[in-house]
Homo-oligomer: A and B are copies of this chain.
Amino acid sequence: MNDALDALFKPRAVALIGASAKELSIGNVIIKNLIHYRFNGPVYPINPKVDEIRGLKAYPSILDVPGEVDLAHIVIPPPFVPEEVENCGKKGIKAIIINTAGFKEMGAEGQALENDFLKRAAKYGIRIVGPNCQGIINSDPAINAYCNFTFTFPHPGHISVVAQSGGVGAVLMQAFHDMGVGQRMYASNGNGSDVSITEFISYYGKDEETRAIVLYAESLGNPLEFIEVVKKVTARKPVLAITAGRTDKGAEASRSHIGGLAGSISMDLIYKKAGILTFHNQEELCHAAVALSSQPVPKGNRVGIITNTGGPSVIAIDELVSCGLTLPPLSANAIETLKGTMLESASIRNPLDVVATAGPLHFRSALEVMMNEEQYDSIYLNFVTPPFVDCESVAREITSAARAGNKPVVCNYMTDKQEWRSTSAILKEGKIPCFDFAETAARALYSLVRYNSILSSEKGKIKLFADVEKERVRMILTDAHHQNREVLSAHDVYSILDAYKIPVAPWKVASDVKEVVYVAGQIGFPVVIKADSEQIIHKSDVGGVAVNIMTTAEANAAVEKMKSTLGGGMRFLVQKCLVPGRELIIGAKASPGTGPIIMFGLGGIFVEVLKDVAFAISPLSDTEASEMISSIKAAALINGFRGQKGINKAKTVEIIQRISMLCNDFPIIKELDLNPLFATGDDICVVDARIIL
């Protein structure tokens, strides 16, 4: 055993504690499945009341089993589980799948039982899958382990699945099976009390035969570890995930189902940070996994199309172009060659319509030419099986021409699968991923392009700024913390921003009218005067902000008015009134289990009406910060528009990175809001800010 999980996925013998002779019981179904899948080792049913189950000798206790056992299932009621884990330890068992439900998810009592069996397992070095789970499958013909109570029996392949929800896992497994696509390993770990999703992905990552990993999770125990580990996996092979709980209602069902915590936004961001391909749609994910596990990664987004029917080509182009793929024209050379090899009615361009009557040699030539054209990174194929064409030979030519090249090929294969079974078999044998619809095939091709973008994307650098005054910030935050202040005063907020060299509109604090007038003179009119008190969060709503103060008299009047409205005792923040530029917003929010989540957007209506903002998990590299900026819908405004100059992107990236560093350095900061910043000419400057602990 090379790995802690080998005992789980490559057990030499499996025992089932709680085996049952009753046909419709989990304790019987698992035995049935192990036999049906031809498990390559002994299976020991454990049941003190019967002698045999499904032809296998049953033993009263795990301790009575004669041979060595690597893996045990436990399907007995929760109160008896800890003791059986103890017995497994004595027996030398290394991995246990606890299928039984009724632990942590049922409250304190269940949590206590879970803690109990975990302690005992740790004592013996046993790894636990579950509780409240299905188990695992390994289709390796040398193993054939079906340690699971589900009903789909995958044949060997290159896709491995890990799912927190067994329901979703089973659907994905069934979908691959229905497509005639093999699978490698499967795991559903329910409550995930011990072996984590991260460990499963890491294990699949090391498995040579696994070429694509499929993930469904509703929460992650340790997101930071997840990101670190999975990032390394996704650099070598694709990981595909469904993002569950996108809407609030979905998130609510998810939370109450498994007791998870992570919100929907942060799951998406965690996946992005880990280099995972995310999908909102299970079927699309399955199609992508089929393409990614069988085809080379394309070098770019340029696609050549070959078709023997018109309409589906229109639909394919719609989808491909919507996904950002391009269709470069054929070279003059290629056109010349194809004029000699195609039928007269063929349309020689990209898309190349070989027409419905095209035979094997037309398809071969079409594929060969496109494979050799430098300007195509991948080939999209529409292949309908006309009843007046020798389709088997066409399929043979397609597969051999595809194999000869090193570009990915995906096929929209339109046929009656019963009638054209032999043709289908040839395409399958030739590893051409075939889909039933033009859009579907196009999106599968797009997933290959997306994975190439992940592989080839610049990671950038996480800059640690040496000029920040950490100690000064620490003192301010410690004071506030000791005084139980959750909302920082403007003075504290601007001091913190100053310490981290984040440009703020010139400001001073004054304690009375006289000082206000004095510092306003120093700063220079026009100024803004703000009542500075921790008690007032939305200052402008209560008359705590006076803008565009032009003279000493106006300053006097403004302060008097605030005092009479808000009562005395507060200080005043006097700030330079800047010429309004393009408004920006930058925010940060602590996120349990990960670095703070950073937000960027254009201010005002862009945030509040159009919700046009970008999020990312810190720490942020310059590339990530830059991507945030260019990913908003109104990004064109940032580059300048209608004669208006754009904003200084380099300075924006730096401010985002400094905020990221600040919030990483001080996790006590729960929320930070720079809203707005003004971008005027080449300058960017914070005009208002808030920090909440």
Query: A152 at interface (Cβ–Cβ under 8 A)?
Result: yes
Q: Is the CB of B388 within 8 A of A26?
A: yes
CB–CB A244/B167 < 8 A: no
Count how many chain A residues have C-beta atoms less than 8 Å from C-beta atoms of the other chain: 87
With contacts A171-B414, A315-B242, A387-B149 taken as known, whether A247 is within 8 angstroms of B321 at the C-beta atoms is yes
In angstroms, Cα B311 to Cα A151, docked, is 17
Residues of B within 8 A of A683 (CB): none
Whole-angstrom CA separation of A286 from B81 in the bound complex? 49
> Is A313 in contact with B414, judged by CB distance below 8 angstroms?
no
Q: Which of B174, B244, B389 contacts A314 (CB 8 A)?
A: B244
Q: Flag whether A372 is at the interface (Cβ < 8 A).
A: no
Judged by DSSP, the binding face of A is mixed
A318 & B152 in contact (Cβ 8 Å cutoff): no
Q: Name the B residues within 8 Å of A246 (CB-CB).
A: 318, 322
Q: A388–B610 contact, CB under 8 A?
A: no
Q: Are the CB atoms of A439 and B385 closer together than 8 Å?
A: no
Nearest chain B CB to A73 CB, angstrom units: 14
Closest to A390 in B: B24
Instruction: Report yes or no: A250 in contact with B321, Cβ–Cβ below 8 A.
Output: yes
Please tell me how many copies of the chain the complex holds: 2
A438 interface residue (CB < 8 Å to B): yes
In Å, the complex CA distance between A436 and B382 comes to 25
Q: CA A178 – CA B360 in complex, angstroms?
A: 27
On chain B, the residues within 8 Å of A320 by CB distance are 249
Beta-carbon contacts under 8 Å, A256-290 to B = 256-258, 280-283
CB-contacts of A150-173 with B (<8 A):
150-152, 163-171
- Complex CA–CA separation, A256 to B310 (angstroms): 10
Whole-angstrom distance from the CB of A656 to the nearest CB of chain B? 22
CB-based contact A388/B314 at 8 Å: no
The answer to whether B282 touches A318, judged by C-beta atoms less than 8 angstroms apart, is no
Stretch from A61-69, A116-124, A489-497, A634-642 at the B interface: A634-642
A349-384 to B contact mask, C-beta < 8 Å, 1/0: 001010000000000000000000000000000101
CB of A177 closer than 8 Å to a CB of B: yes
Contact A314 B610 (CB under 8 A): no
* B437–A175 CB distance below 8 A: yes
Is the Cβ of A247 less than 8 Å from the Cβ of B317? yes
A453 located at the interface, meaning its Cβ lies under 8 Å from any Cβ of chain B in the complex: no
Closest 8 CB pairs of A and B: A165-B311, A167-B309, A168-B311, A250-B318, A247-B321, A257-B310, A167-B311, A24-B388
The interface of chain A, by Cβ under 8 A from chain B, is: 24-26, 29, 101, 149-152, 163-171, 174-175, 177-178, 216, 218, 242, 244-250, 253-254, 256-258, 280-283, 309-315, 317-318, 320-322, 327, 345, 347, 351, 353, 382, 384-385, 387-390, 414-417, 419-420, 436-440, 604-605, 608-610, 633-634, 636-637, 641-642
Q: Known pairs A24-B389, A250-B317, A282-B315. 10 more at Cβ < 8 A?
A: A151-B420, A165-B311, A168-B312, A175-B436, A175-B437, A244-B315, A253-B351, A283-B439, A605-B641, A610-B610
